């Protein structure tokens, strides 16, 4: 491999872009032989289009995007894959503050009845992508409280950074999104959190590293090394000893333009939901522990099942071929293990 290979990776300012930022800021990309540019993108539709037309080599992507592109679901068909899961969990559902006083002391089973009695339907809920875990989790929660997603709800596509403003202005009734955008609404006191990933689908696959066709088919060695680099980055990011440094990195490096305390809220914790419910940051964001990064068949099957259950994919359309590449991941994992036996751990 040529040292200094130029790579462009797309990302959206969410806390789960952290592994990419760590790899750049700590010099891991250079260590593994890459000259990387991280390209900020406005939303997941832009990520999708730039992968299709090879304007990006890799991208942070919602977990369903590899399946969407290969199946050509509401998209130009594109051969792509993922060999790396960037993180697990990381999402929450936030409702407008107008529901706070009427729901705060009520059990979950009463939510649907109370909302029906006090709201104009359909309710408007922001979601970044219908092919994301956010949409799947939101459907689960709505059904759990007795609301019909097809009859009672209209889903509004919004880029993650725009959701708190739309909630504040009263344009939407709630949203499901990754951090820090729930915390933004909580700190501004314009919304309150009613559920997280841990409540609805613990350890679900969240974002993946999406690779376009040229890396899937023609640059296998570089693909392996990019994954190896990100394995190291995720291991560093998952350590509780490094979470404050990570929050500082995201804030002071201007990767996420929000106050430091907002980033710390879920990244370090405790994430405060109300009713004296506190979630430690280590549980809210999982970057490495428990084999989180492996693009396993189980993780892919969870995504496919959710797409079928939500009506996005028909059972007859399911293909036996996998778009999660475990072989590249396993080879990268071996290289990282070999390096650990020969070098000192990387730290900042």
Residue listed under structure tokens 């697990």: 88
| Mean pLDDT of each 10-residue bin along the chain, 348 residues long | 78 98 97 97 94 95 94 88 97 95 90 93 95 97 96 96 97 98 97 95 98 83 96 98 98 98 97 83 95 97 94 78 93 93 52
Closest CA to 247 of 260, 234, 232: 260
Burial of 344 (0-12, 13-18, 19+ CB in 10 A): exposed
Which pTM does this prediction carry? 0.94
Across the strands, what pairs with 9? 38, 58
Domain boundaries, the chain: 5-88+204-238+287-342, 91-199
* Tokens matching residue 118: 């006090």
Closest CA to 90 of 217, 219, 182: 182
Class of domain 91-199: alpha beta
| Local structure of 210: helix, strand or coil | strand
Apex CA 337: angle with CA 336 and CA 342, to 5°? Answer: 95
Architecture of the 5-88+204-238+287-342 domain: 3-Layer(aba) Sandwich (3.40)
Distance CA 274, CA 197 (A): 16
Distance CA 127, CA 134 (A): 7
């Amino acid at each position: 491999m040529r040292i200094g290979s130029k790579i462009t990776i797309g990302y959206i300012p969410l806390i789960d872009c952290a592994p990419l930022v760590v790899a750049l800021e700590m010099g891991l990309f250079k260590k593994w032989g890459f000259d990387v540019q991280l390209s900020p993108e406005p939303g997941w539709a832009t990520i999708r289009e730039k992968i299709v037309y090879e304007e990006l080599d890799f991208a942070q992507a919602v977990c369903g995007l590899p399946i969407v592109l290969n199946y050509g679901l509401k998209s130009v068909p594109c051969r792509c894959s993922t060999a790396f899961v960037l993180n697990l969990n990381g999402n929450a559902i936030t409702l407008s503050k107008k529901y706070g006083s009427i729901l705060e002391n009520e059990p979950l089973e009463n939510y649907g009845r109370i909302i029906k009695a006090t709201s104009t339907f359909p309710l408007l809920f922001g979601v970044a992508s219908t092919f994301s875990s956010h949409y799947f989790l939101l459907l689960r929660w709505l059904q759990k409280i007795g609301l019909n997603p097809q009859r009672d709800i209209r889903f509004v596509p919004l880029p993650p950074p725009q959701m708190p403003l739309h909630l504040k202005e009263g344009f939407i009734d709630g949203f499901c999104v990754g951090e820090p955008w729930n915390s933004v609404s909580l700190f501004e006191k314009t919304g309150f959190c009613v559920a997280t990933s841990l409540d609805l689908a613990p350890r679900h696959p969240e974002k993946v590293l999406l690779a376009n066709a040229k890396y899937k088919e023609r640059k296998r060695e570089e693909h392996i090394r990019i994954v190896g680099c990100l394995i190291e980055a995720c291991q560093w990011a998952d350590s509780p000893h490094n979470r404050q440094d990570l929050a500082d990195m995201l804030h002071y490096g201007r990767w996420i333009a929000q106050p430091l305390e907002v980033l710390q809220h879920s990244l370090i914790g405790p994430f405060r939901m109300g009713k004296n419910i506190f979630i430690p940051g280590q549980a809210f964001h999982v970057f490495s522990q428990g084999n989180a990064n492996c693009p396993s068949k189980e993780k892919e099957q969870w995504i496919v099942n959710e797409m079928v259950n939500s009506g996005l994919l028909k059972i007859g359309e399911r293909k036996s071929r996998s778009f999660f590449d475990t072989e590249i991941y396993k080879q990268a994992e071996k290289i990282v293990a070999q390096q650990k036996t020969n070098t000192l751990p990387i730290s900042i």
